[in-house]
Amino acid sequence: MGAGNMQTEWRRLAAHAIVRAIMPSAKPAAATISCRLGWWVAAAMVTSILAFPALLRFRPERQAPFDQNLLHRLAGRGPQCVLIGDSMLESRFDDAVLEAIAPYRCAVVAQHGSGSGIWYLIFKNLLAAQERPPRSVIILFRDAQLTLPAWRSTGRYRGTAQKYMPGEEPLFEKIITQAVERQKSPFERLLHTVYPIQEAREAAEEKIDKWALALVARRRDYERIRTETNRLFKVANLRHDQSVDESKEDEPLRAADKDANFDADVRGSFLPPMLEIAKSRGIHLTFFRIKPRPPADNAMVADSPLQAAYQSALQTYLKDHGALYLDETKDPSVTLAYYGSGDHVAPAMARAYAEQFWKTYAGRIEEASGLNGGTAR
């Protein structure tokens, strides 16, 4: 565009602006109506986008049936001692190893990617529900894991929890809901009150996952796919000489070390109902704190002052309720040589670890639980 043309265009725009300034009525009425209508349409679109999802009701759907097979297998074996835990347990013990070293029947119920909520369901619905429950149950945990009820019990872990739920679990749901609420900031609580769609996000994700799975498998194939996936990703299959970064997944556990307060957290945890069930069914509980991976061979893993106070309070609480607390973190015999990835025991060292565990701790567990080390199978 030449200089003359540019000047002409600027004059035309300036004249138009002056006319609009001194003669506002010169704006066509149709344009005014159109402008106002446009704003109403935009407002309606925004309202629809925000309001429509809030009207949807995504109820949590059952992703997995109750594992009747595991319940029946445990009933058939009739173990006198059962170990419960996550992949930390899975990497340390299995039924075959315990069969070889224990003088009585033992069983391992290891659910990788689980937390205290799922352990509560396993204990309540698979062990305490037995006609003859085990005399001794050992739960392996790390640091503040026992008072983090929502950790690994919601969201993508919901399907895992449902494997151990034969029906409605109102106490489980209540504890989980209250724990999630405590984690929210005041702003998040306000947002969820005003706009509750966020509360349905997990249920919506469950439904979408189910639709995606339905595209590639029939309903009767769901459990087979999950079983094969779990087998493929077992700790022993993944962690041969690998260095896996698990810090992100364990971040809630690490963060809890910064504000660990057992007395404040225990009331909203699964510990009270577990201890109550144990007492009513004549089951002795042992809570075994595993040693995290030491930084070097023969190195001690020191607790922060808050974590030390937390563990002391936990030990006292468990003793007062008839349970046994064992802490492996200061055990010098558990050296770096045992470890594979993260806090997991290397597959090649699992047998040696189990034998060392039994030699060091079995006597105390048997004494506290009334198990006889010479009991016949």
User: pLDDT tens, 281-337?
Assistant: 999 999 999 999 998 876 777 899 999 999 999 999 999 999 999 999 999 999 999
- Domain identity same for 257 and 196: yes
- Domain identity same for 22 and 106: no
219 inside domain: no
- Domain identity same for 270 and 352: yes
83 inside domain: yes
- Domain identity same for 122 and 155: yes
Alpha helices in 246-349 (DSSP H): 251-256, 262-265, 271-281, 305-320
Confidence of residue 247 (pLDDT cuts 50, 70, 90): very low
128 inside domain: yes
Among 373, 321, 345, 356, smallest CA distance to 88 is for 345
Give the span between the Cα atoms of 300 and 264, in whole angstroms: 28
Mean pLDDT of all residues in 13-37: 51
- Domain identity same for 148 and 80: yes
Average pLDDT, the chain: 79
- Domain identity same for 48 and 20: yes
217 inside domain: no
- Domain identity same for 83 and 147: yes
Query: What's the pLDDT at 182?
Result: 80
- Domain identity same for 23 and 111: no
Q: Can you tell me whether residue 194 is helix, strand or coil?
A: helix
- Domain identity same for 167 and 81: yes
227 inside domain: no
Query: What's the pLDDT at 208?
Result: 60
CATH of the domain at 357: 3.40.50.1110
Domain that residue 45 falls in: 3-55
C-alpha angle 261/267/269, rounded to 5°? Answer: 85
pLDDT tens, position by position, 262-280: 999 999 999 999 999 999 9
Q: Which amino acid is at 135?
A: R
Give the span between the Cα atoms of 151 and 145, in whole angstroms: 8
Final residue of a structural domain among 31, 55, 79: 55
Phi (first) and psi of residue 138, to 5 degrees: -115, 125
Confidence of residue 240 (pLDDT cuts 50, 70, 90): very low
Query: What's the pLDDT at 262?
Result: 94
Residue 130 reports pLDDT greater than 80: yes
221 inside domain: no
Confidence of residue 239 (pLDDT cuts 50, 70, 90): very low
280 inside domain: yes
**Dihedral of alpha carbons 337, 112, 281, 261, sign:** positive
Tally of CA atoms within 13 A in the half-sphere of 237 that contains its CB: 8
The count of structural domains within the chain is 2
Lowest-confidence segment of 68-72, 183-187, 264-268, 285-289 by average pLDDT: 183-187
**Largest Cα span, the chain:** 108
- Domain identity same for 108 and 39: no
- Domain identity same for 122 and 203: yes
Residue 48 reports pLDDT greater than 70: no
- Domain identity same for 128 and 28: no
